[in-house]
Every structure is written in structure tokens, then in C-alpha cells.
Structure 1
């Protein structure tokens, strides 16, 4: 039986992920990449299959990136914003014309999306750890998410710590929260859905 082609495309970055966690624990939310169970939960929460434009904040070594590409429509686009140069390099190896890997900060979503000729995202997915970053930066990112998200867009953040829920209320309202226990560590999945005015 031949292996699943989508699995062959996945970056093999477990060692890199662990090394970067040990060097930059405040930038990375976990010591190991996301499980397939967490990937499926996040993809469903963000309704990736119907999104034409997706933004990923903090793709790490690209496991969630590839899972979203596998679920996306053929004409959709995925903008992946990563601040860590080694992770950015790893994600850039994914061979998919729908993917736009960008080295930069999640505080600049609109400027980055504009630079790549993208419209307002239908979904924004974040794995960056809001619990370890400066509160002002976390708030700046969440305000940017609220401002740039399409009128019927979804924002999904998967986090070990619940801090993003309280930070996000000011800009996005009260989130739906689910737990994914089949991940190390278990993760909370926060979902906000915008409604048209």
C-alpha cells in the first residue's frame, strides 16, 4: 500500500521545532508540533474548506500549514506569517502554489496581505502563544485580526493557556472554546466568528 501523498509533502521538522522551543520558549507554544487530532479540530473550527483566503500566524514547521492546504479549495490562498527565520525556511519548502510563506510579524497582517495582493481573510488561524508575549503586543495582534478579518470571517487560536480568550474579548467578543485532549499538551481551541453588520 503506497503512503498518503499529503503525508509525503509534510516538512519533517520535529527536531527543529524542539530546538527552537528550547531557544525561544516565549515565541513557541509547545515543545512538539500539533497532533493530527488538533489539526482536524482547528480546520473544522475555522471552516477552512470554504475559505478563499486564509492567514496562518505562527506556522512553526508547517504541520498545520500542510493540513490546511490539504483541506483548502484548489483556488484558495494561504498566507503564512512566521517570525522565526528557521521555521519560515522550513515552511517555504512546502511545494504548493496556493501557499505564500512570509517572514514577518503578526502585528502587520494587513500590510503583509496587501503586499501580496490578497483581500480580507475568511479565516485566520493562530498557533502563536499569547500567554508568553507582552500584553501590548498580544492586544495589537488581536486588534489587527479584528480589523482585517472579512465580515463573515473566523479567527481560531489554539493555545495551552486561556489568556487569548480574555485578551480577545475587547476586540472580538466572547469566544467559543473547545478542548483537544489528544495533543501534547492538551490544547484549548478558541473560535470567534464575525457577523455582518
Structure 2
């Protein structure tokens, strides 16, 4: 899929829905690569992406996955879901609903434990109990040794991840607008 949304359209959609999108530009290829490098694609069977946006990270994940791996993505924005529906890949399951319902959809689609979760949800804009609940659900569904990878544009909520996972590695990605932090938590 070539992304038809484009930079200007993404910006307009972001301004209209900043609270659920959390950024005004698409993720750069450097940020996408900086996020997916924490996934063991050789062994991964089940991956979830939260806040898939217009699919820029989704495409990087799909290109890296093997043929037997499944990717479930969550996105609440209608305009972005139109873009995502243009991705035709049998390994992809698109959920047009909130990540708060993660457990329900994992059971519905018979996903066993997750190998990795990649998230671009702007938790800094969420009420803390909601953010904590979603992150805890991700941890509960990760395999032992699985990774939770999250993009943020500040360090304001790093305690949220430390409290749930008990660990947090932070990687800086300056080649993105705005520059970003990639939070990586391990389910030990």
C-alpha cells in the first residue's frame, strides 16, 4: 500500500484529533526502525500494534514478519482506519476499537501469548488509570521475555512503565519530527 494520506492530510487529521493521535507528523523511517528493532521477528508468532495511525509503522512490521506471524492492530480514528483497510495482507487483523478491549479481541481471534507489543498511543494525554490498565493488560498478555515498545515525545510518563514492568530502557531517536523517545520494557 502506498500511503495516500500524505503529510498535509496527516497534519490536518492530527490537529482535529490531537488527543487520540498525539503527534502532528507521521513517524519517520528512523523512528519506525528504532521501534521494530526490539522485536524478534525470527520467532514471533503474535504481535500487537496499538495506535496504528495511518499504517507507517504497520508497514515496517509487516515487511519484517515471517509468513506464519500474525499482527493485530488497534486504531480508533476513522480516517486512519480507511487508510489501514487498504493494506491487503492475510497476516493482518485490523481492530477499529479501543486498546482498552485488548483482552477481548485477543480471545476472539485466538491469539495466545504475545511476543511483542508496539505502541504509539499518546498515554501522556490519557487519564492515568486508563493508561495503566492498558499497559498492564499488555504485560499480562506478553510471553516471558517479550517486549513492550512505546514511542513518546517526552519523559513525563516514564514512571508509568517502570511501575508496571519494573524496568525501562530508553532510546533517543533525533531523526524524527518531533524527536522521539522509544521506551522498551521487558516482561521478565
- Normalising by structure 1, we get a TM-score of 0.90
- Normalising by structure 2, we get a TM-score of 0.94
Show CA shifts across 1:146-168 (max 9, x none): 11111221100011122342111
Unpaired segments ≥5 residues, structure 1? 1-8
Q: 2:16 aligns with which of 16, 23, 26?
A: 23
Q: 2:5 aligns with which of 10, 13, 29?
A: 13
Show CA shifts across 1:144-191 (max 9, x none): 111111122110001112234211122111200000001110010000
Distance 1:149 1:26, change over 3 A: same
Distance 1:89 1:138, change over 3 A: same
CA contact (8 A) 1:142 1:168 kept: yes
CA contact (8 A) 1:123 1:149 kept: yes
Unpaired segments ≥5 residues, structure 2? none
Matched residue of 1:166: which SS? helix
Aligned length: 187
Task: List, as ranges, runs of 4+ consecutive aligned residues in structure 1 with deviation greater than 6 Å.
Answer: none
The aligned runs of 1:24-63 (5 Å cut-off) are 24-63=17-56
CA contact (8 A) 2:42 2:66 kept: yes
Q: Distance in 2 between matches of 1:26 and 1:175?
A: 25
Q: Distance in 2 between matches of 1:90 and 1:55?
A: 18
